[in-house]
Amino acid sequence: MIEMSKFIIPEDVLKVSEGLESAGFEAYLVGGCVRDLIIGRTPKDWDITTNATPEKIQEIFPETFYENIYGTVGVVGESEDPTLKIIEVTPYRKEGTYSDARRPDTVEFGVSLEEDLKRRDFTVNAMAYRPKTGELVDQHGGHEDAKKRLIRAVGEPKVRFEEDALRMMRGVRLSAELGFAIEQKTAEAIHETSEQLSKISKERIRDELIRIIETKEPMQALFVSQKLGLLKHISPSLEHGIGIDQNQAHSFDVFEHLLRALQHSADKEWPFIIRLSALFHDVGKPATRRWSEEKKDWTFHGHEVVGARMTRKALTELRFPSETIEKATNLVRWHMFFSDPDKITLSAVRRMIANVGQENIWDLLNLRICDRIGTGRPKEQPFRFRKYKSMVEEALRDPVSVAMLAINGADIMSHLDEKPGPRIGWMLHALLEEVLEDPEKNTKEYLLEKTRVLTNLEDKVLRAMGEEGKEAKAEAEGEELATIRAKYHVD
Ligand code: ATP
Ligand code: MG
């Protein structure tokens, strides 16, 4: 037996269940939240099922909304917590026949709780818990499966996947999120029914893919998706890399390399965009692979250009938002940047930053790390990579120069009786020295005031002041670089 008294159910949820019960109805927590309570995970949302009709539910609670065909009424609470703000209350319901592998032809209300649980996808998702009595309704063995850490379809798996093909992806995703295995018969049924996933809209497939990528174990989940025949309906271009061996620097075929790169980004808990780019970064390799007699090895020239095009196409097909498509495509396009700090110039680093865009440069460097780890034979080069990063930071920062000043040569000439010529440069450098000493002085008012003094000085004196300014500038530059290098431990 499980100890239900250990369940921590938020007050806001209890309020809703008590509201229903005191009006004479049954109220059960159901689905994902019961599963999560049992395995000790924090529920993402709280669903309640009841024998009250949508109309009754709306009468019981002061603030509700109801705008769907499934009978779900959103009960609005007072909580600030987004997972508790709206508690969804749905009457027990039963689904009619499925003729399109996507959605029921009819839904029927006013059935029993048992009927309602039967329509649910997996046993761990098909339990209900009644806070009033502490009773757990578990007619499909969900509690046992939760203990065994198994994803098992409710009823006949093949029939359930034929009703709604998205359940197959939900199963894989759930198994990745929870770290559960897919039960044998359920996995076999997915394998046999996988073709049906092609009937599901790309948007729904995309949403499940996003959730898979965001789990801790996306590599495993995508391997399983491939084995069970789902991946070709998720994003077929990923499968082209299966069995495509790479050059000497790699231990794995292209497919496994992509998954390992993705897995590293997940291990690092990096943002979604890096994970997605890691998954696609070498997708252009199969199409560009050539044997080089000279090197006695495979080459993949231009795979990043082809790969960027394929990434754009794949993500467009999955209806990703254009911002995501552009960002991932861009990272894939530039992932082959040359990064040997001993052989590269600062201006080459600057060009690289200009190519990928300043806002993307750190994501690109992280993608490179995933790529390196994903080879299975990463060359030990943390020092050189840090050195490269310090060069990037150096290239990114504004140089110490008279351009930092709040006034320029044109301002000086329009305020004073000065002509174009070396005196302007000397004045600016003299001002720069002061500003480096005290950045607060970098205002238009102060600097113009100061030029009224400088303009009275003869050339010789002014030149000397200008020279001093240049020295101060060189010193400041040196200090900034030393700071950057120290930060990356490459000084
Ligand atoms: P989470 O909220 O953590 O994503 P969940 O299990 O609550 O997980 P939801 O999508 O919120 O997932 O669905 C709530 C419940 O509805 C599920 O637990 C399951 O019982 C049922 N359910 C959802 N989608 C399906 C489906 N396609 N077929 C059958 N039952 C489903
Ligand atoms: Mg849920």
On whether both 223 and 306 belong to a single domain, the answer is no
CB 172 within 8 A of CB 228: yes
Atom 21 of ligand 1, residue of closest alpha carbon: 120
Please report which confidence band the pLDDT of residue 178 belongs to, taking 50, 70 and 90 as the band edges: very high
Q: Which residue has the higher pLDDT, 397 or 207?
A: 207
1 pLDDT tier (thresholds 50, 70, 90): low
Q: How high is the mean pLDDT of the chain?
A: 92
pLDDT of residue 99: 80
* Of 177, 169, 384, 368, nearest in space to 268 by CA: 368
Separation of alpha carbons 54 and 57, rounded Å: 5
pLDDT for the residue numbered 201: 97
pLDDT at residue 437 in the model: 85
At residue 247, the pLDDT reads 80
Total count of domains within the chain? 4
Q: Of 396, 418, 439, which residue sits at a domain end?
A: 396
- Residues 91-95 have a mean pLDDT of 89
- Give the CATH number, domain containing residue 172: 1.10.110.30
The DSSP 8-state label assigned to residue 197 in this structure reads G
pLDDT band at 5 (very low <50, low <70, confident <90, very high): low
CA 49–ligand 2 middle distance (angstroms): 13
Does residue 237 surpass a pLDDT of 60?
yes
Please name the residue ranges forming H helices in 228-321. 231-234, 254-267, 272-280, 285-288, 303-317
Give the pairing of strands 86-91 and 128-130.
unpaired
Q: How far is the CA of 31 from the centre of ligand 1 (A)?
A: 6
Residue 413 DSSP SS3: helix
Residue ending a domain, among 234, 260, 286, is: 234
**Ligand 1 atom, smallest distance to 33 CA:** 7
Average pLDDT score over residue span 397-417: 88
Domain boundary pick from 174, 209, 234: 234
Which segment of 50-64, 139-153, 340-354 scores lowest on mean pLDDT?
A: 340-354
pTM for the model: 0.86
User: Which atom of ligand 1 lies nearest, measured to the CA of 36?
Assistant: 3
Protein residues placing their CB within 5 Å of the ion ligand 2: 32, 45
3-state SS assignment for residue 7: coil
Per the structure, the complete domain to which residue 357 belongs is given by 236-396
Instruction: Please tell me the distance from the alpha carbon of residue 455 to that of residue 39, in angstroms, as a whole number.
Output: 78
Interval 111-140 mean pLDDT: 95
Environment class of 154 (CB within 10 Å of its CB; exposed 0-12, middle 13-18, buried 19+): buried
> Does 255 share its domain with 301?
yes
Ligand that lies nearest to the alpha carbon of residue 121, given by its number in the listed order: 1
Q: Rounded mean pLDDT of 211-239?
A: 98
Atom of ligand 1 nearest to the CA of 47: 14
Per-residue pLDDT at 250 exceeds 90: no
**What amino acid occupies position 394?**
E
For the ranges 63-67, 119-123, 143-147, the lowest mean pLDDT is seen at 63-67
CATH number of residue 105's parent domain: 3.30.460.10
Band of residue 16 on the pLDDT scale cut at 50, 70, 90 = very high
Percentage of residues in the chain with pLDDT exceeding 70?
A: 98
Clarify whether residues 120 and 32 are in a common domain. yes
pLDDT band at residue 155 using 50, 70 and 90 as cut-offs:
very high
- Tell whether the model's pLDDT for residue 333 goes beyond 60: yes
Provide the β-strand partners of residue 295: none
> What mean pLDDT comes out for the span 459-463?
94
**213 burial type by CB count under 10 A (0-12 exposed, 13-18 middle, 19+ buried):** buried
- Note the pLDDT of residue 208: 98
* Ligand 1 nearest atom to the CA of residue 211, by list position: 4
Q: Are residue 195 and residue 95 in the same domain, yes or no?
A: no
Judgement on whether residues 320 and 420 belong to the same structural domain of the protein:
no
Q: Which numbered ligand comes closest to the C-alpha of 214?
A: 1
185 lies in the same domain as 272: no
Q: CA 128 to CA 33: how far, in whole Å?
A: 9
Residue 295 predicted with pLDDT over 90: no
3-state secondary structure of 335: coil
157 and 124 within one domain: no
| Band of residue 102 on the pLDDT scale cut at 50, 70, 90 | confident
Please tell me the predicted confidence (pLDDT) of residue 4: 65
Residues 223 and 94 in one domain: no
pLDDT at 425: 93
What's the 46 CA to ligand 2 centre distance in angstroms? 6
Q: Name residues contacting ligand 1 (CB within 6 A).
A: 31-32, 44-45, 47, 120-121, 125-126, 164, 166-167, 170
Indicate the top mutation candidate among 70, 116, 120 to test ligand 1's pocket, ranked by most ligand atoms within 8 A of CB. Answer: 120
Same-domain check for residues 74 and 126: yes
Q: Are residues 408 and 382 in the same domain?
A: no
226 plus 240 within the same structural domain: no
pLDDT band at 448 (very low <50, low <70, confident <90, very high): very high
Contacts by residues 229-232 (CB-CB < 8 Å, ≥ 24 positions apart): 229/190, 229/191, 229/194, 229/195, 230/168, 230/169, 230/172, 230/190, 230/194, 230/197
- Contact criterion met (CB below 8 Å) for 43 and 22: no
Q: How confident is the model at residue 14 (pLDDT cuts 50, 70, 90)?
A: very high
**Which has more pLDDT, 486 or 146?**
146
Ligand 1 atom nearest residue 164's Cα: 27
> How many angstroms does the Cα of residue 330 sit away from the middle of ligand 1?
35
pLDDT at 366 over 90: yes
Hey, which of 125, 138, 145 would you mutate to test ligand 1's pocket, going by the most ligand atoms within 8 Å of its Cβ? 125
Question: Could you tell me if 372 and 251 lie in one domain?
Answer: yes
Atom of ligand 1 at shortest range from CA of 120: 30
Q: What is the pLDDT of residues 371-401, one digit of tens each?
A: 999 988 776 667 888 899 999 998 888 777 8
